[in-house]
Amino acid sequence: MAKLEGLNQRGDRWYLRIIIPGDLQAAYGGKARLNLALKTSDRREALRVGHALRAEWLAAFDTRRHTLNPQPLPSVTPELAQTLAARVRHRVLAGDDAIRADAGLLAALAGAVRPPPSRLLIPVAADAPEPQGTHDPLQGATPEELKALAGLHGVVEGRAAVNLASRNLRSVLPMVKEAALALGLTFDETAPGAPEALLACLKAYREATREVTQRDAGEVVDTPPAPTVATANTGKPRTLRDVFERWKTSGEKTRSTDSIQAMDRALRQFESHHPALPLASVTRDMGDQYRAWLLANCGTPKTARDRLNYLKTLLKYAAQVLEWIPRHPWLGLNLKAPTTRKRRPWKDAELQALFGAPVFTRYELPKSKQAGRDAAYWVPLLGLYTGARPGELCRLRVEDVAPVEGIDCIAVTDEGEDQRVKTDAGRRFIPVHSELVRLGFLDYVAAMKAAGHAILWPHLKTRPEREGDYFTRWFRELRLSVGLADGLPDFYCFRHSVRPLMRRARVSESTMDKITGHETAGSTGTVVYDHWLLEELRDAVEAIRYPVLALPVVSPHGTRGAP
């Protein structure tokens, strides 16, 4: 058993030393420590009892500290109201438990010594009279004692029923204030939500008194545990912003910076309509109205759909993971967003216009950091002959281009510190196309290696988690500079160009998926590359041909070395 702090022995008996925190010593008569008898000479038993006793005292210190420094309640939330009501019910039933276990008080009741009804709810065993004669603690109450107890319970229940029928909220106010104080809160009956909380507590009190009379009839009614300070709301109602703070730091996977920022933008937009809205007040009707507003005011249906979905994600997280609300109020509230930019393959004339730019015909590298000097030449060509995503190409390392089983390949992997793949199928080898070899790509890789570079594009500016973002912005400027319209085709359209070319060469769908990094139906996410499969992939890559292009060899790295 774990070591117990404060365990000590006097003679053959074991004790537990409890240190009273300095800020609480005045509440304990100025004492700095207590040495509590564990009433055993067996060390194992002392450890067992001592651990439980120490935990009780530490919890008592926490409760006392909250009681001595209560927080004011600006409002009483529905959640806090239910917590207070639960504490009221617990107090009534726990008080009844204490009375039934108090032989002296039961004897006094049977002897017509009738304490006030409040004694049935707040047992004070210390001043109860001692039982007369011999009493068997295992025998329980006598019929006379039980009859007297049931009579008083009937009176208390009757008063509770009258108070509930008349909505006498003040009758339960002292009990509610005490329950709040135990949670470290100051209950103000004039605060917003206080009347509703008092009514919930009055109902709980009425129900508890009825349950006590059921016990008198022999029914089984267990005493529930009292809600702790940790389970109570501090008076500040939880909001979607609170959910967001939990969502962005927890979950099965690390949230990307972009997803956190996008979620924050959607939430801030919602908060501009509903500032500091309590989470419990988010209704389905509100969601339907906000959905209509998004559709009318966002630039595109896709933006409206995304903003709505971000908020639905938070509500789902609050309901299903945090259990801060009983259900997801916006479940099923959807927005359809038709695709406005359906990507397509590049047309021959568009390819000729793009690759007729000086960067490809004369190796005139742009000065923009977003272009990344040599990346401006090689990354579009790699996209043209591999169909790889721009982010995958922009984060390539020098070591990612190397022979595998005698075939020069590009490894798309997440093994590097800043590397990642979109899906499991994204991890793959792509044989280097012979046209890239002709244009000097392997020479460029060798030059970067000889210069001691670890990154294939050392001058390329990238964003964490979205390495291709800056480059695709520059690529848009390149398209516009050669007379191509804004929009489509974009860099991702290279992915739509390579598949039809491979399909015409009768390459299987699964092989095309292995090259482009798409999930194959029925795939387990594990891809094994053997010698035969790499040869198959090389043949499939070589089927990517663009007869309309006749690119000159302009890369200097094969003859002049690294810059």
Q: Residues 126-150: pLDDT tens digits?
A: 443 444 445 566 777 888 888 888 8
Write down the pLDDT at residue 2: 56
Contact present, 396 and 402 (Cβ < 8 Å): no
Write down the pLDDT at residue 528: 45
Within 10 angstroms of residue 399's Cβ, the number of other Cβ atoms is 14
Per-residue pLDDT tens for 313-330?
Answer: 999 998 888 888 878 999
Low-confidence ranges of the chain (pLDDT < 70): 1-3, 22-23, 62-73, 112-137, 184, 228-236, 251-254, 339-341, 414-426, 465, 519-532, 558-563
169 alpha carbon, distance to own chain's centre:
39
Q: What is the DSSP string of 261-276?
A: HHHHHHHHHHHHHSTT
Write down the pLDDT at residue 362: 94
Q: Alpha helices, DSSP H only, in 298-439?
A: 301-316, 348-354, 358-361, 374-386, 390-394, 434-439
State how far the Cα of 154 lies from the Cα of 138, in Å rounded to an integer: 26
Would you give the DSSP letter of residue 7? Answer: E
Phi-psi sector, 402: left (phi>0), alpha (psi -120 to 50), beta: beta
State how far the Cα of 195 lies from the Cα of 125, in Å rounded to an integer: 33
Would you give the DSSP letter of residue 171? Answer: G
The reported pTM is 0.48
Which residue, chain included where needed, has tokens 């690759």? 355
Give strand pairing partners of 72. 186
Q: Which of 423, 418, 438 is nearest to 516 (CA)?
A: 423
Radius of gyration of the chain (CA): 37
State how far the Cα of 264 lies from the Cα of 245, in Å rounded to an integer: 10
Across the beta sheet with 33-37, what order do the strands follow?
7-10, 13-19, 33-37
State how far the Cα of 317 lies from the Cα of 319, in Å rounded to an integer: 6
Write down the pLDDT at residue 115: 46
What SS3 class is residue 333?
A: coil
State how far the Cα of 300 lies from the Cα of 294, in Å rounded to an integer: 9
State how far the Cα of 181 lies from the Cα of 87, in Å rounded to an integer: 11
Which residue, chain included where needed, has tokens 């009825």? 210
Contact present, 125 and 220 (Cβ < 8 Å): no
Write down the pLDDT at residue 191: 87
